[in-house]
Chain A
Amino acid sequence: MALLEVEGLVKHFVAERSLFGRALAHVKAVDGVSFSLEAGKTLALVGESGCGKSTVSRLVLRLIEPDAGAIRFEGRDLLSLDANTLRAFRREAQIIFQDPYASLNPRMTVGQILTEPLALHNLLPPAQRRERVAEILRLVGLEPRLERRYPHEFSGGQRQRIAIARALAVEPKLIICDEPVSALDVSIRSQILNLLRELQDRLGLAYIFVSHDLAVVKHIADHVAVMNLGQIVETAEADALFAAPSHPYSRALLSAIPVPKPRAKRSRIVLQGEIPSALNPPPGCRFHTRCPYVVDRCRSEMPQLVPDGTGHATACHRTSELPSSAAIVPSDGGFSPVLEKLVAAFSGGPEAVRGGGVSSLGTDPA
């Protein structure tokens, strides 16, 4: 059984009300989204700003209430839970936000931030909580003595580690990562990605990973769902999607990834026109206004997600007629031979380098 199953999820926000409070216009933020996630796996939600990926992640936790649809966590229907059982469920599923500067209470010490979830869920007798705080700090690569400090004393990467520690405190099975590395510098980003991966292997966590950085998604995800204007237009195993994206929107998205290789071979599809408003999405296929392969049928009839034999599903009327997409994703050719060795040496530390170095210059993580 899947850890999480989402079926036909719908959320329309009211954008405008009449004088008497009657809704006049809706933003169709999420419109019929279904997916499932196995324990210990990572599902990435990708798409442009406003496609509904963050809304989906909040709906799954019931941080906002859906208008329709079903969410089952280990077979339990989340939408039927009352306030108490919902709080108990929150122990199983946690969230990490994009901005580690805004998501930690500046008036609480790290120790207090990490003890709070333990106290809320009454997980450990108070006497043992300090021990547990030290343990989770170590788990995310911070020293236990830092528990007395306040968030402002930490760098962005360290704050994100604290946010991860807070999520881990209650031993969840699912963590929603909403753009967890977008606000971080490149070198810090790789530390957090490595940490998330390591924690997943060690603790068997499942992630829903919301991101607009597709190279990061390729690195971390097992499964990817591509969203456009509140709907999933394609979903597949990450490797299959990056090898051959099928939906015209995914093709455009993946073809545009900037790769760290000068003069990389690419066949970039530059989309013309603007993203239509979710206030008034186009009829038929919601991508038809920007689609280079549009035909009449696309303008009137909404395509359904149709899986092929391998579980690669695409919502496009013309799936079978589109040209091959094998060369769509740009190739960065990996590392040059010299760079490959240099990076290995860089990661291997002083011993990996010929001629050796001094190791007395320890690095201070604080």
Chain B
Amino acid sequence: MSASPLIEIKDLRIRFHGDDGRATHAVDSVDLSVANGATLGLVGESGCGKSVTSLAIMGLLPKQSAEITGAIRFDGFDLLKTPDQTLRDLRGNRLAMIFQEPMTSLNPSFTIGDQIIETILRHRGGSRKSARQRAIELLRRVHIPSPERRIDEYPHKLSGGMRQRVMIAMALACDPRLLIADEPTTALDVTLQAQILELMRELKAASGAAIILITHDLGVVAEVCDEVAVMYAGEIVERAPVDELFSTPQHPYTVGLLGSIPRLDHRAEQLATIEGMVPNMAQPPAGCRFAARCPFVLDACTRAPPPLVEISPGHLSRCIRAPLELLVS
């Protein structure tokens, strides 16, 4: 990792204030950084705070109900202190995002061309004609066949895979430095998923952009990420280079996740399961948030929140029992 990362998140905390006056701790003390040209995977199950973190980076959380503290440094800005006007200049320009639902993230009443051209004109200016030319070029780059014709079609005419490619084309319109992809392939079939992952790899190689990939699919993570951060109940519980995460995970939750996915090469009679449920984040537990579901739990785990500790270079775990291999050797 280079000396100065492209984006650096320090002690990010997000609380949502409900109508009943109670606060939900969605994200707690998250530290992350991504270098130029690197891909970080953000992994975890529903409600762990991975999407909320990405929305905070984009400045898309509602101001009335979300209380955000910490710092998100990107390209010389602290995004949390940046005025809206400047944020609008960054979004879609140097910061771009792809959402999970290609079916609902395009405006049905404008052609895909209009939507891509709007982005280009907003950030780059120039004539409509040259913007259209660039839009066609972008559609070609994401392998949409006959882009000169497709550019004038409405989203409903396109299949799910095509729409996701349009979303990617739109995200790439202004050559972003950072691309956040929130479950970009979850709604797609494996064959399309393969195409989209291939495309993301291609584009990263060509443009050198950094990518934050949010997913619950560890297979996808293994394919495209350099580094992985595993989130549980609003906290990062493990951070590691991708190889190490899959070979020697250092947090019990990661072990549970890896054990619960069916393998192609190994027919287990029983898959590992993680018993119990995610804690109520209106009143997070005093100690380790995973303790109630953890088979490796000690009394000490429930007393104080464990810190995120470096176990080996670049490999961090929020577990007092790490390194875990000592438990089973």
Contacts and interface: CB of A to CB of B under 8 A. Distances in A.
Interface in A229-278: 242, 252-253, 255-264, 268, 270-271, 273-275
A333 B243 CA distance: 13
A217 to B, nearest CB: 9
Contact of B264 (A215, A341, A364): A215
A270 B193 contact: no
Contacts of B261: 186, 190, 215, 260
Classify chain B's interface size: 35 or more
A270 B201 CA distance: 14
B246 A334 contact: no
A229 to B, nearest CB: 13
A357 B264 contact: no
Contacts, number: 210
Interface string A300-340: 00000000000000000000000000000111111110110
Classify chain A's interface size: 35 or more
B328 A347 contact: no
Per DSSP, are chain A's interface residues mostly helix, strand or loop, or mixed?
A: loop
Interface stretch (A5-13, A54-62, A111-119, A348-356): A348-356
B295 A329 contact: no
Nearest to A337: B247
Nearest to B160: A49
B221 to A, nearest CB: 8
A189 interface: yes
* 9 nearest CB pairs, A to B: A258-B219, A363-B276, A219-B262, A190-B260, A343-B259, A190-B271, A256-B194, A334-B266, A187-B274
Given A258-B193, A339-B247, A346-B259, 17 more contacts: A155-B277, A259-B264, A261-B222, A261-B246, A268-B194, A270-B191, A270-B198, A336-B246, A338-B248, A342-B327, A345-B328, A346-B272, A358-B298, A361-B292, A363-B292, A363-B293, A365-B277
Interface of A: 48-49, 155, 185-187, 189-191, 193-194, 197, 212, 214-216, 218-220, 242, 252-253, 255-264, 268, 270-271, 273-275, 329-336, 338-339, 341-350, 352-355, 357-358, 361, 363-365
Interface of B: 45-46, 145, 159-162, 189-195, 197-198, 216-223, 242-243, 246-249, 252, 255-277, 291-293, 295-299, 302, 324-329
